[in-house]
Amino acid sequence: MPRVEAIRAEVQRMVRATPFRRFVLILESGDRALIEHPENIAFDPEAKGAESDEFYVITGRIRLFGTFGAVSSIALADQAGQAA
């Protein structure tokens, strides 16, 4: 499975987890996006190939448009919202 598809699949798994646990997307630039609720991230879960690379995060004051190709890792968030 190519890297982008693996990252997208992991994000889908974390968004659908019951109970939901907050997580952080860590981007190659060093930026971090805290996902505090499943509704804070949007992407087309049915998209395939090049169409599946984009996501949007809206949380607090952050409005982020990104690509799964720019995500270097995903981590569960601790109580302070940092990667655990």
In a domain, 83, yes or no: no
* pLDDT higher at 79 or 72: 72
- Domain ranges, residue 54: 3-76
Return the CATH number at 37. Answer: 2.30.30
Domain count, the chain: 1
Is the pLDDT confidence value at 64 over 90?
yes
Query: Distance between CA 55 and CA 63 in Å, rounded?
Result: 11
Burial class (CB in 10 A: 0-12, 13-18, 19+), 22: middle
Query: Distance between CA 31 and CA 50 in Å, rounded?
Result: 23
Q: Are 64 and 33 in contact (CB under 8 A)?
A: yes
**Total-model pTM:** 0.85
In a domain, 84, yes or no: no
Please state the rounded mean pLDDT for residues 63-72: 93
CA torsion angle 7 5 39 22 (round to 10)? -20
pLDDT per residue over 31-50, tens digit each? Answer: 999 999 999 999 887 776 55
In a domain, 82, yes or no: no
In a domain, 38, yes or no: yes
Two tokens, residue 37: 């609720």
* pLDDT higher at 84 or 77: 77
Q: Which pLDDT value is given to residue 2? A: 85
pLDDT level of residue 51 (50, 70, 90 thresholds): low
Is the pLDDT confidence value at 68 over 80?
yes
Query: Distance between CA 17 and CA 9 in Å, rounded?
Result: 12
